[in-house]
Each structure stands twice: as C-alpha cells, then as structure tokens.
C-alpha cells in the first residue's frame, strides 16, 4: 500500500557561518611596487590641491605638463616639500596628489604640521589572499586525483539554488531548473545549495576562497532549486521530478542533501528506476543522531552518507542504521555560501556532496563503468572505521578518491 507523501527538509546542522571578506588595493596606472624594509613605517602623504605646484615658485607654470596642470600635482613640487622634512620619497600617486615614503616619528610630525599637507596616513599592507583546502577535500583524497577529464560528466545538485556569479564557483557549463514560486535556480538566498555545490566543484588555483573535490571548473553542473530561500519543505513527488530534470540534463551523479522520516512506494520505485537507468544517487543519512531511517537516503537504490569530523570520528548528529553505506566529512566544513561569501557548516548535508563529488571525479576517469560499478568501487576502497567491515555508524567507511581510481585501474569494469 502506498504511504503518504512525506515532507522533505534540507538537512542542515549549522555550527558556524564565517563570511570571508576580500581586501582590495587601488593604485594609479603609474604606481610602482616598492618593497618595505627597515624599521620605519611607510606612509601616504596627501598634499592639498595645487600646493605642490605652489612649492615650485612663480615660474613653475611655464614648465608644468598638461597632466600636472589638470591634476594640480607636481612630483618636483612634492619632492621639494618632502625634502624640507628630510624625507626621501618611495613613490607618487600622481592622479591622487599623493606621495609615498617611509617616515620616522620626527618626519611624520613635521609633515603633519606642514600647511601644504592635507593629511598623512599609514600605508597599510595587503597580502595575497591564498585559497585554503578544506580538511575534507584532503581527507577524501581529491587532490591526489586529476580532474582534467571531468568535462565528460555532469553532477546534479537538488537544493536551494546556486549563487551564480560567486567568484569561486563555475560560471560556464552550469544549467538549472527551479520549481514554480522559488525564483531562479541561479540565485540562492538560503546558502545551503551553494555550500553543497562548492564542496563538489569550488574552483582551485584562483588564490581565493576554497577548493572543491573537482577544482578545475570543468565538471558539468545541473542545479535544481527544489526549496525556496527559507528552505521550506518539499515533497517526494517534487523530488522525483527534480531527479528527472537531472536525468534530462544528462547528469550521472545526483546529490540530495535533504530527507524526511516517511518512505513512499512511488518514490522508492522511482529511485530504483533512476539507478538502474545509469544514475548514481547520493543522499544525506540524516541529522537526528538516532538509528531512525531517513528517506531518500535509506532506499536501497541510494547511497546513504554519514558524517565524520576532522578526526575521522562519526559526528554525534549523524544518523546510524543498517542503510548507512559510506561516510564523508561533515563537521565544520568550509565552502562557498550565499552573497559570494563563505561559511563553515556541519551536517550530513555537508558529507553527502563529498561522496557525490568523489563519485563524479572517479567516474570521469572510468566512463565505461556503470553506476553500480562506481558504487561498488567507492565502497570497496573506503577507509574502514568503527567495526571491521560495514557497520551502522560509518557504513563501509570514509570515501577515498585515489583508492577508488587505483582499484578500477586494476579491476576495470
């Protein structure tokens, strides 16, 4: 007998949301980089408009360039004013009427007291904003496997949307679909879906933010916005439609960081049909911290993913039962977030995309394999945790990309 269609909620157990800001330095076209050295601090000296020209005396106008007249700034005049305080300039920002120099305390005071000077401020240092590799990406061995061939495969994310235009997420090769009333798939006012997508495919090598499992921006992505920005529940029937959208878009791997407590015969049959038709379905095991089953993760056609922390220990919130099949990092996972920011979130919602991302990465190197073969390889090569072999806490263990690729290189499909 068919059971009632359940409400499905996004699985999100938030610990911390860390928005990272980007610092920018603005310079004129003629600015030159001057390395800092010695004990003196470097400053920017802003001269009052026309003061550096006035410092040259009454004959100055006869040899001023057109640019100097327009900008009301003369390097020679600025140098003359600096010499009065025994200062050697390091650089000039002509368009802004600013000179740059290292100053000791006495020189600093002298310039501050000079009526020709508007203000003096410290020249703040700026640093390369290097990207970080979240611990989970290393744990699942993603950096050990080339993702150069991921353009031959597509992953689907069924969630709250996608922050299209996020500087750390792919902008090309991304398609999507949004359910009625939810706005565009390319927007995400919630952040959950963007976080999940970042774990799968955040861009590497761009010196910002984070790195995903597939970091070359070559992986195809299809986004289905099944939740609105408030993360309101959806239904099993909608989820079936969402996976059909993934299939129609050519996706081979589907991530579902969502779930509910009730099963459905229709949904179960649909999952089996999608899986038998060649799609690998991955879902979050649930965040109740109990042995209760969560769906769709607990259908046999779906890989149920438990969460572990950075010490490879099962997270206290991660559900444990006979359907848990594999594990992934899910505690304090740093990834892309709404409004082009970043956040550290926890939940089996965060563990699931690690497995989905690894599945796409491994499958991209062995495209002749079936979904069942990829699934078997991931399970056979997972890092065993807890009781030897499969157990209710970790399933077969923590997913490992390099181990799975090596396994298929030997055993083939």
pLDDT one-digit tens code per residue, 294-341: 999 999 999 999 999 999 999 999 999 999 999 999 999 999 999 999
Residue 44: name the closest of 89, 106, 110 by CA: 89
Question: Is residue 13 scored above 90 in pLDDT?
Answer: no
pLDDT given at position 8: 58
Who contacts 192 (Cβ-Cβ below 8 Å, separation ≥6)? Answer: 10, 12, 159, 160, 227, 231, 257, 345, 349
pLDDT given at position 280: 98
pLDDT given at position 314: 98
Same domain flag for 89 and 145: no
Give the whole-number percent of the chain exceeding pLDDT 90: 79
pLDDT given at position 11: 57
Residue 36 in domain = no
Q: Confidence band (pLDDT; 50, 70, 90) for 242?
A: very high
Same domain flag for 63 and 184: no
Same domain flag for 84 and 192: no
CA distance 220 to 151: 6
Residue 316 in domain = yes
CA distance 225 to 399: 27
Same domain flag for 135 and 114: no
pLDDT given at position 20: 29
Same domain flag for 82 and 198: no
> Are 240 and 350 contacting, i.e. CB atoms less than 8 angstroms apart?
no
**Using only C-alpha atoms, what is the Rg of the chain?**
29
Three-state SS at 400: coil
Same domain flag for 150 and 294: yes
Same domain flag for 118 and 206: no
pLDDT given at position 55: 85
Same domain flag for 108 and 48: yes
| Domain's final residue, options 71, 89, 122 | 122
Backbone angles phi, psi at 304, to 5 degrees: -90, 125
pLDDT tens, position by position, 48-65: 998 998 888 876 666 777
Residue with the larger pLDDT of the pair 412 and 30: 412
Residue 229 in domain = yes
| CATH number, domain with residue 118 | 3.30.70.80
pLDDT tens, position by position, 78-119: 999 999 999 999 999 988 899 999 999 999 999 999 999 999
Residue with tokens 């005396």: 57
Looking at the DSSP bridge assignments, the partners of residue 47 are 117
Same domain flag for 91 and 168: no
Same domain flag for 150 and 93: no
DSSP characters over 281-307 = EEEE--SSSSS---BTTTSTTEEEEEE
Give the whole-number percent of the chain exceeding pLDDT 70: 88
pLDDT given at position 130: 77
Verdict on whether the full-model pTM lies above 0.85: no
In whole angstroms, how far apart are CA 76 and each of 45, 53, 136? 15, 8, 57
Segment holding 198, helix H or strand E: helix 192-201
Q: Confidence band (pLDDT; 50, 70, 90) for 129?
A: low
| Domain's final residue, options 88, 122, 156 | 122
| Average per-residue pLDDT for the chain | 89
Domain count of the chain?
2
> Are 10 and 229 contacting, i.e. CB atoms less than 8 angstroms apart?
no
pLDDT given at position 32: 32
Question: Is residue 27 scored above 70 in pLDDT?
Answer: no
Residue 34 in domain = no
pLDDT tens, position by position, 271-285: 999 999 999 999 999
pLDDT tens, position by position, 355-376: 999 999 999 999 999 999 999 9
Supply the residues annotated as catalytic. 159, 192, 349
Same domain flag for 15 and 85: no
Residue 99 in domain = yes
Residue 31 in domain = no
| Domain's final residue, options 105, 122, 139 | 122
Containing structural domain, residue 53: 42-122
Residue 225 in domain = yes
Same domain flag for 103 and 200: no
Looking at the DSSP bridge assignments, the partners of residue 221 are 155, 174
Mean pLDDT score, 199-216: 97
Q: Confidence band (pLDDT; 50, 70, 90) for 5?
A: very low
Looking at the DSSP bridge assignments, the partners of residue 398 are 327, 383
Residue 85 in domain = yes
Q: Confidence band (pLDDT; 50, 70, 90) for 39?
A: low
Paired sense of beta strands 333-337 and 341-345, if any = antiparallel
| CATH number, domain with residue 197 | 3.40.50.200
Question: Is residue 25 scored above 60 in pLDDT?
Answer: no
């Amino acid at each position: 007998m068919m059971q009632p269609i359940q409400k499905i909620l996004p699985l999100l157990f938030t610990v911390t949301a860390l928005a990272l800001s980007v610092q920018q330095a603005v310079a004129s076209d003629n600015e030159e980089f001057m390395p800092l050295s010695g004990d003196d601090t470097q400053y920017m000296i802003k001269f009052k408009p026309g003061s550096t020209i006035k410092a040259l005396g009454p004959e100055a106008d006869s040899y001023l360039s057109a640019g100097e007249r327009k900008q009301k700034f003369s390097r020679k005049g600025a140098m003359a004013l600096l010499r009065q305080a025994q200062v050697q300039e390091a650089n000039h920002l002509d368009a802004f009427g600013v000179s740059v120099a290292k100053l000791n305390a006495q020189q600093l005071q002298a310039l501050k007291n000079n009526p020709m000077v508007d203000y003096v401020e410290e020249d703040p240092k700026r640093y390369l904003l290097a990207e970080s590799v979240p611990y989970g990406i290393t744990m699942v061995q993603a950096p050990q496997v080339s993702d150069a061939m991921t353009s031959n495969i597509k992953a689907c994310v069924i969630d709250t949307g996608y922050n299209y235009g996020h500087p750390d997420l792919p902008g090309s090769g991304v398609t999507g679909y949004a359910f009625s009333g939810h706005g565009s798939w390319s927007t995400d006012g919630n952040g959950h879906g963007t976080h999940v997508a970042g774990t799968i495919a955040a861009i590497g090598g761009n010196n910002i933010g984070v790195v995903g499992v597939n970091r070359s921006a070559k992986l195809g992505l299809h986004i289905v916005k099944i939740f609105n920005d408030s993360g309101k529940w959806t239904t099993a029937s909608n989820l079936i439609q969402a996976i059909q959208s993934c299939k129609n878009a050519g996706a081979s791997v589907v991530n579902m960081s969502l779930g509910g407590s009730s099963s459905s015969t229709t949904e179960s049959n649909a999952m089996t049909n999608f899986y038998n038709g060649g799609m690998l379905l991955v879902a979050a095991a649930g965040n109740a911290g109990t042995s209760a089953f969560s769906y769709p993760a607990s259908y046999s056609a779906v890989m149920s993913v438990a969460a572990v922390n950075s010490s490879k220990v099962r997270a206290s919130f991660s559900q444990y039962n006979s359907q848990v099949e594999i594990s992934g990092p899910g505690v304090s996972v740093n990834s892309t977030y709404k409004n082009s920011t970043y956040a550290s979130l926890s939940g089996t919602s965060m563990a699931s995309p690690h497995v989905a991302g690894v599945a796409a990465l491994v499958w991209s190197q062995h495209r002749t394999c079936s979904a069942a073969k990829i699934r078997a390889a991931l399970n056979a090569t997972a890092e065993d945790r807890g009781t030897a072999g499969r157990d209710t806490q970790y399933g077969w263990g923590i997913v490992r990309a390099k181990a799975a690729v090596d396994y298929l290189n030997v055993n083939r499909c």
